[in-house]
Amino acid sequence: MGNVRFDAIRRAMEHKPVNVSSPEGRVKDYFARDVFTRDRMKEYISEDVLQQLFDDVDNGRTIHRDIAGTVAIGIRKWAMEHGATHYTHWFQPLTGGTAEKHDAFFTLNRDGQLMEEFSGDSLYQQEPDASSFPSGGIRNTFEARGYSAWDPSSPVFLIGDTLCIPTVFVAYTGEALDYKTPLIRSTAALCHAAREVCQYFDKQVKHVHANLGWEQEYFLVDESLYSARPDLMLTGRTLMGHNSAKSQQLEDHYFGAIPARVLAFMQELEYEALKAGIPVRTRHNEVAPNQFEMAPIFEDVNLANDHNLLVMSIMERVAERHHFRVLLHEKPYAGVNGSGKHCNWSMSTNTGINLLAPGKNPYQNLQFITFLVNVLMAVQRHNGLLKASIVSATNEHRLGANEAPPAIISVFLGKQITAVLDKLEHAKAEEAIIINAKKEMKLGVANIPEILLDNTDRNRTSPFAFTGNRFEFRAVGSSANCGASMLALNAAVAEQLMLFKAEVDRRIEQGEPKERVLFDVIKRYIVECKAIRFDGNGYSDEWKQEAAERGLDCETSVPKIIDSYLSPTSIEMFEKTSVLSEAELQSRCEVKWETYVKKLQIESRVMGDLVVNHVLPAAKRYQTMLLQNVLAVKQVFSEDETASLNEMDYSIIRQIEHHSGAIFSGVERMTEARHRANRMPDERSKALAYHDDVLPLMADIREHADALELIIDDEMWTLPKYRELMFVH
């Protein structure tokens, strides 16, 4: 009988780098070739219609249906000229990933003749028969169907023969059933609030953008090894596997030379991404073996998020051509680094100012400090919610582990910014602000006018770090839709800026000078937001204790962390900013708990199958061999001799017996725990039961299975081992 594992290794070794046809010309020749960009639109759509469209999009107004009709004709013409035969509304359901339903560009008229068709209505709105997507009860409550509707702020693009139209996905009554809708609402709220605050400093500011630059980490694994691991195939992670003797200790993979087969994959991935208009620029090896990262230049948050989702699906497609599988799971392997998706977030103005970068003059620096401190206040008030925005059954394995973000949200500022805030805090009001609009504003704080940031001031243990001209939210998981965390952050900051403005305006109306009020409020904020500021080691035990004393959210159980969405502070904030209603929040939580339950249920079942069908049979086979050996030895050697000869055999036989027995009873207990959990009355209690009862039993079983892997004859072990999954390519 052949061993599946050895066959898989052999096939993996045979996989050679795939020849990538080199891209035609230079990047500028093919960048965004598959996108209906604004420039390209000019060739297909009349000028007055476009003017109206751009105007509406740029000012966040609804597009008129007549315009949609004309635009649709232009889009179809362009798409068909480029080989498209189908179109799809491309949306972002709450289950994660993206969804699409393809329709062909033709219909039959009454006489049964074929007509090419793509009307304004099909562009504008569709009713995908998508009743299986979770709505957390919204559609039951309102007895309404889901609709997808065009998001004209993100351009349409081609994937192969299909025209993809980015859309929002909402219930008939308008409740959001996706991530895009509230993300767009949150940027609108943030842009409005930030623009208002900018007026204190610069009346030229008409528009503020929220930016996102994501860094996507992922693992690659050879497809034949992958297909010999049912756990990887069905859950995206290894549910068992002993650590490889050599793993990431030497850190020789980080930034190392990229292996030829992987490089070929990356080249093709970049080519495909660039054609789709995704400005990818960075690629490198990550810390763990076979772990990599890709990052584009930052863009408007809505577009950047679409691009991230698109990249995730392009990756999977390209990987298959190279006989790889992409693992986007946050923790495919225990004991080595997991994968995150750092979200670099900033705000910038139509006047070209990055509101989170120190400026060229004291006025801009006061503006910078204002925005920085308001972000700190927002993150502090909503630290529990921000944590809720990144948790999932998959990211749970990354949180709080030693090489991953801690399960407490805090902000790292670095030495320089901390010094500036300390000085401001202790500056006297009299010496602080004497303003003369024409002359230099004197802040009385010597180094505010020239904050030069040293980019090397980094702290990898911080989940939310200031990195010179942006904040980097590092707790986001690699498989997540970044929209979830970006919308929470946007909304929290929007609310905070509204509070700030209300207070400043009130005091100005009472006759206090503007600069003094700004300075005063900022000074108070600097003191108030101290709890969230932490530059030390986020992984340490002392921090856990200190964070609790500071009143930060220290909950580690994912089902309970999700509760933060429904806290009075969260509900108030989301309603005030019109990002999510209480009903929408409720439904989102239901979906989160339900997804958590389903993921764990699948994992637990796969684990049961694996140990019963792979691990225990191998263990028993090896044990039988040893037992037969003991008997044979007894026949050949004298009793005195056999005592020492059999020592090793006996020891292994007993260990196998011990671990097999523990696995066997563990599986029984796990199955019972699962059945109990499934009988719980609601999704939250189910999720809690899976977390509290099923998860620990899985960890237990794994420990015994991994112990068996170490002692059983290598030839009998059928599941590819960590050293093979991570090092064979």
Residue 252: phi and psi, rounded to 5, are -85, -5
Which residue in the block uniquely carries the two structure tokens 């401001």? Answer: 424
Cα–Cα dist 90/164, whole Å: 6
Q: Which does 465 bind (CB under 5 to 8 A by kind): Mg ion, ligand ADP, none?
A: none
Pick 63 or 404: Cβ nearer ligand ADP: 404
298 binds ligand ADP (CB under 6 A): yes
Q: How do beta strands 162-171 and 157-159 pair?
A: antiparallel
Cα–Cα dist 203/674, whole Å: 60
Q: Which does 469 bind (CB under 5 to 8 A by kind): Mg ion, ligand ADP, none?
A: ligand ADP
Pick 296 or 414: Cβ nearer ligand ADP: 296
295 binds ligand ADP (CB under 6 A): yes
Binding mask 461-490 for ligand ADP (x = CB under 6 A): --------xx--------------------
AA identity, residue 289: P
Q: Among 88, 211, 291, 660, which residue interacts with ligand ADP (rule: CB under 6 A)?
A: 211
AA identity, residue 346: S
Cα–Cα dist 600/596, whole Å: 6
Pick 31 or 142: Cβ nearer ligand ADP: 31
∠ CA(420), CA(421), CA(424), 5° rounding? 90
Q: Which does 474 bind (CB under 5 to 8 A by kind): Mg ion, ligand ADP, none?
A: none
459 binds ligand ADP (CB under 6 A): no
Cα Rg of the chain (Å, integer): 29
Cα–Cα dist 218/236, whole Å: 12
Pick 366 or 482: Cβ nearer ligand ADP: 482
Pick 453 or 627: Cβ nearer ligand ADP: 453
DSSP state of 164: E
Cα–Cα dist 313/293, whole Å: 15
- In the bound complex, what is the minimum distance in angstroms from residue 356's beta carbon to ligand ADP? 7
Q: Which does 307 bind (CB under 5 to 8 A by kind): Mg ion, ligand ADP, none?
A: none
Pick 32 or 705: Cβ nearer ligand ADP: 32
For residue 302, give the nearest of 100, 504, 152 by alpha carbon: 152
DSSP state of 720: P
CA distances from 613 to 231, 241, 402, 605, 708 (A): 12, 15, 33, 12, 14
167 binds ligand ADP (CB under 6 A): no
Q: Among 120, 152, 213, 405, which residue interacts with ligand ADP (rule: CB under 6 A)?
A: 213
Q: Helix, strand, or coil here: 107?
A: strand
Q: Which does 115 bind (CB under 5 to 8 A by kind): ligand ADP, Mg ion, none?
A: none
- In the bound complex, what is the minimum distance in angstroms from residue 343's beta carbon to ligand ADP? 9
Q: Which stretch binds ligand ADP (CB under 6 A): 187-195, 341-349, 361-369, 654-662?
A: 341-349
Pick 342 or 588: Cβ nearer Mg ion: 342
389 binds ligand ADP (CB under 6 A): no
The dihedral region occupied by 148, where left means phi > 0, alpha psi between -120 and 50, and beta the remainder, is: beta
141 binds ligand ADP (CB under 6 A): no
By Cβ distance, which residue is nearest to ligand ADP? Answer: 213
- In the bound complex, what is the minimum distance in angstroms from residue 151's beta carbon to Mg ion? 27
529 binds ligand ADP (CB under 6 A): no
Residue pair 191/578 in contact (Cβ under 8 Å)? The answer is no
User: 10 Å Cβ neighbour count for 114?
Assistant: 9
Q: Which does 354 bind (CB under 5 to 8 A by kind): Mg ion, ligand ADP, none?
A: ligand ADP
Q: Which residues pair with 294 in a beta bridge?
A: 216, 283
Query: Hey, which bits of 259-405 come out as E strands?
Result: 280-285, 291-296, 299-300, 324-327, 341-349
CA distances from 509 to 194, 499, 502, 512 (A): 20, 16, 11, 7
∠ CA(302), CA(306), CA(308), 5° rounding? 115
Q: Which does 231 bind (CB under 5 to 8 A by kind): ligand ADP, Mg ion, none?
A: none
Cα–Cα dist 95/309, whole Å: 13
Cα–chain-centroid distance for residue 579? Answer: 20
**Non-local CB neighbours of 316 within 8 Å, separated by 6+ positions:** 325, 326
Residue pair 580/573 in contact (Cβ under 8 Å)? The answer is no
Q: Which stretch binds ligand ADP (CB under 6 A): 172-180, 340-348, 620-628, 637-645?
A: 340-348
Q: Is the dihedral of CA 198, 203, 208, 213 positive or negative?
A: negative
297 binds ligand ADP (CB under 6 A): yes
Residue pair 248/289 in contact (Cβ under 8 Å)? The answer is yes
Q: How do beta strands 411-412 and 464-466 pair?
A: parallel
Pick 182 or 213: Cβ nearer Mg ion: 213
Residue pair 354/372 in contact (Cβ under 8 Å)? The answer is no
Residue pair 306/482 in contact (Cβ under 8 Å)? The answer is no
For residue 418, give the nearest of 535, 322, 310 by alpha carbon: 535
Q: Which does 622 bind (CB under 5 to 8 A by kind): Mg ion, ligand ADP, none?
A: none
Instruction: Count the residues of the shown chain that bind ligand ADP, applying the rule CB under 6 A.
Output: 14
Pick 154 or 216: Cβ nearer Mg ion: 216
Pick 470 or 533: Cβ nearer ligand ADP: 470
Q: Which stretch binds ligand ADP (CB under 6 A): 39-47, 191-199, 289-297, 668-676?
A: 289-297
Q: Which stretch binds ligand ADP (CB under 6 A): 187-195, 333-341, 344-352, 420-428?
A: 344-352
Q: Which residues pair with 167 in a beta bridge?
A: 150
215 binds ligand ADP (CB under 6 A): yes
Q: List residues near Mg ion by CB under 5 A.
A: 342
Pick 345 or 690: Cβ nearer ligand ADP: 345
Which residue in the block uniquely carries the two structure tokens 């700190």? Answer: 376
- In the bound complex, what is the minimum distance in angstroms from residue 342's beta carbon to Mg ion? 4
Q: Among 282, 540, 624, 678, which residue interacts with ligand ADP (rule: CB under 6 A)?
A: 282
Q: Which does 367 bind (CB under 5 to 8 A by kind): ligand ADP, Mg ion, none?
A: none
- In the bound complex, what is the minimum distance in angstroms from residue 482's beta carbon to ligand ADP? 12
- In the bound complex, what is the minimum distance in angstroms from residue 225's beta carbon to Mg ion? 30
- In the bound complex, what is the minimum distance in angstroms from residue 295's beta carbon to Mg ion? 8
Q: Which does 470 bind (CB under 5 to 8 A by kind): ligand ADP, Mg ion, none?
A: ligand ADP
Helix axes 301-321 and 180-198, enclosed angle (nearest 10): 140
Helix axes 514-528 and 483-509, enclosed angle (nearest 10): 130
**What residues from 345 to 364 belong to the interface with ligand ADP (CB under 6 A)?**
345-346, 354
Pick 96 or 213: Cβ nearer Mg ion: 213
Pick 445 or 486: Cβ nearer ligand ADP: 486
Pick 453 or 571: Cβ nearer ligand ADP: 453
Q: Which stretch binds ligand ADP (CB under 6 A): 219-227, 296-304, 491-499, 539-547?
A: 296-304
- In the bound complex, what is the minimum distance in angstroms from residue 183's beta carbon to ligand ADP? 16
Give the binding site for ligand ADP (CB under 6 A): 211, 213, 215, 282, 295-298, 344-346, 354, 469-470
